DNA sequence: CAGGGAGGTTAGCGGTCGTTAACCTGAGGG
DNA sequence: CCCTCAGGTTAACGACCGCTAACCTCCCTG
């Protein structure tokens, strides 16, 4: 929450409006003139800020994936520090590597935290969540590889935590379960315009309960 | 399952390939030449079968929505007949109207059946499931209205059944829960190509368990 | 007070795309 | 045996779109 308290720069305005338009009508369905018009300038003026239309999409998608992954890593480390957890055993789940996943009851708290973070993101940046799994194929190869790598790390982080909480889940099943819960949490754009919702807090609570219930049912 | 045992006609070939391409690269990202090439003819030959590119998308989306709704209605009626259920009380849930929803334990069986049907569809027609909630806005107004109406009926049918199974759920919460479970079930396109999956039956079982777990958690 | 760069503008080019026009062909029926 | 017509073909048109070129105009700074 401590990010970005300054006034939004032009670039940020453009990215925000571009995200909204891309989410509404698809990358190919939006012209650069429309993006420009949405921020008060028109057409080719955008090229003072971005190399091209592709570059806007790339920056959006890389930003989303990175933000999700960074937040998840932060939450995992916070839980690790808070729990005082096992300084000598950075990883218990076999050949996993990059990050130490807490064990036992602490793992469940981490999973809750991951769910909470993803819900916040899905509710606060609905256009971005839409783009994130819809327009990936419109990227240049190098950008697409980068985004895919970030997404994969994010998924793997969830999978490790989920398997710690539900040891009965085999790895492929856990991965499928994680993707399915992402589908559940990312359904917020379909829940009607923000106003027909029963309130943000109530929606978040419902989503959290459903996600936990889905995981629990998967791990039975 | 009894539908379409005959050899596929040209129109059906075209629709199938168009659905795949639209799902892969988006409606605006696919040219008519590519669609034609996918069925062995090239470019404008498609116009012997469809009025235009828009018409293909419209037929696909209307077909999907109608198929989902029809299947759901059929399952509801089958359960009604099988349960022998309450011929004098066609509807117990207040001012609902079009269809009689069974009460009590029968309702849970109906919900299971709805989940089963949706999973079958999501696993068998992944491109269509993708299009269904992605390219709706590219339709002409009249077609879009029709599709929206069919989708809304489908959702309402689920909502009625869910509220019968979990009477504690208020209507807006039930609607959100239904949309979220759709998100969960429609996540199959993200589960990797059909082959990296742990097998269709295992995937279906996992999805079914998670959907039921999510509903149960929502209705607590 | 020059001057230079940041951030706009409009005109226009080149390519792509959906669609139409005009033409061809092979199979079935009177 | 011709005629028709379903189902193709290629050529081409018009619109649109991403992007560049050329130019303008403040504002800030030495």
| Chain segment B20-52, per-residue pLDDT in tens | 999 999 999 999 999 999 999 989 999 999 999
Range of the domain at A177: 52-219
A216 neighbors B214 (Cβ within 8 angstroms):
no
The position carrying tokens 């589960």 is B191
What's the pLDDT score for residue B91? 42
Size of interface A-B (CB pairs under 8 A): 137
- Residue A210 to residue B211, Cβ atoms within 8 A: no
Q: Is B29 on the interface with A (CB under 8 A)?
A: yes
What's the pLDDT score for residue B95? 37
Is residue A3 predicted with pLDDT exceeding 60? no
Which nucleotide minimizes the distance between its C1' and the CA of B36?
D8
* A197 domain-assigned: yes
A60 neighbors A121 (Cβ within 8 angstroms):
no
Report helix angle A171-185 to A104-124, nearest 10: 30
* Cβ neighbours of A185 in B, within 8 Å: 180, 183
How far from each other are the two terminal CA atoms of chain B, in whole angstroms? Answer: 36
Tell me the residue ranges of DSSP E strands in chain A: none
State percent of chain A over pLDDT 70: 88
Nearest partner of B182 among B155, B220, B209, judged by Cα: B155
* A41 domain-assigned: no
Nearest CA in chain A to B170: A198
Q: What confidence tier does B8 reach under pLDDT thresholds 50, 70, 90?
A: confident
State percent of chain A over pLDDT 90: 76
Considering only CA atoms, give the Rg of chain A.
19
* A84 domain-assigned: yes
The pTM is what? 0.91
What's the pLDDT score for residue B89? 44
The position carrying tokens 């469940």 is A108
Q: What confidence tier does B96 reach under pLDDT thresholds 50, 70, 90?
A: very low
Is residue A82 predicted with pLDDT exceeding 90? no
* Cβ neighbours of A24 in B, within 8 Å: 137
| Average pLDDT over chain B, rounded to an integer | 89
What is the CA A141 to C1' D8 distance in angstroms?
A: 37
Query: Between residues 49 and 108 of chain B, which touch chain A (CB distance below 8 Å)?
Result: none
Q: Out of B29, B184, B217, name the one closest to residue A180 (CB).
A: B184
- Residue B214 to residue A214, Cβ atoms within 8 A: yes
Q: Is A198 on the interface with B (CB under 8 A)?
A: yes
Is residue B5 predicted with pLDDT exceeding 80? no
What's the pLDDT score for residue B145? 96
> Could you tell me which residue, B141 or B97, shows the higher pLDDT?
B141
Burial degree of A22 (CB within 10 A; 0-12, 13-18, 19+): buried
* A20 domain-assigned: no
* A120 domain-assigned: yes
* B208 domain-assigned: yes
Q: What confidence tier does A91 reach under pLDDT thresholds 50, 70, 90?
A: very low
Min Cα separation B185/chain A (Å): 7
B106-135: string of b/e by CB count within 10 Å (b at 16+)? bbbbbbbbbbeebbebbbebbbbbbbbbbb
* B42 domain-assigned: no
Considering only CA atoms, give the Rg of chain B.
19
| Bases in strand D with any atom closer than 7 Å to a protein CB | 6-12, 16-22
What's the structural domain count of chain A?
1
CATH code of the domain in which A150 resides? 1.10.357.10
What's the pLDDT score for residue A7? 74
* Cβ neighbours of A203 in B, within 8 Å: 176
Burial degree of B158 (CB within 10 A; 0-12, 13-18, 19+): buried
Q: Nearest 5 degrees, angle CA A124-CA B218-CA B113? A: 115
Min Cα separation B29/chain A (Å): 6
* A2 domain-assigned: no
Q: What confidence tier does A98 reach under pLDDT thresholds 50, 70, 90?
A: very low
Q: What confidence tier does B102 reach under pLDDT thresholds 50, 70, 90?
A: confident
Q: What confidence tier does A92 reach under pLDDT thresholds 50, 70, 90?
A: very low
């Amino acid at each position: 929450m401590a990010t970005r308290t300054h006034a939004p720069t032009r670039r940020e305005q453009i990215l925000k409006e571009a995200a909204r338009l891309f989410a509404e009508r698809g990358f190919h369905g939006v012209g650069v003139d429309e993006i420009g018009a949405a921020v008060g300038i028109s057409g080719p003026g955008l090229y003072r800020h971005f190399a091209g239309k592709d570059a806007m999409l790339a920056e959006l998608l890389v930003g989303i994936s990175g933000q999700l992954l960074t937040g998840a890593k932060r939450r995992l480390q916070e839980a690790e520090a808070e729990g005082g957890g096992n300084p000598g055993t950075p990883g218990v789940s076999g050949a996993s590597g990059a990050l130490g996943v807490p064990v036992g009851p602490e793992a469940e708290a981490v999973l809750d935290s991951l769910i909470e973070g993803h819900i916040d993101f899905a509710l606060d940046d609905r256009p971005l969540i839409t783009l994130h799994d819809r327009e990936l194929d419109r990227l240049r190869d190098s950008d697409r590889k980068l985004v895919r790598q970030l997404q994969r790390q994010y998924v793997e982080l969830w999978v490790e935590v989920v398997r710690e909480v539900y040891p009965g889940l085999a790895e492929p099943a856990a991965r499928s379960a994680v993707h399915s819960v992402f589908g559940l949490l990312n359904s917020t754009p379909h829940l009607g315009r923000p106003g027909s919702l029963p309130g943000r807090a109530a929606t978040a609570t419902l989503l959290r309960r459903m996600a936990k219930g889905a995981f629990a049912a998967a791990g039975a």
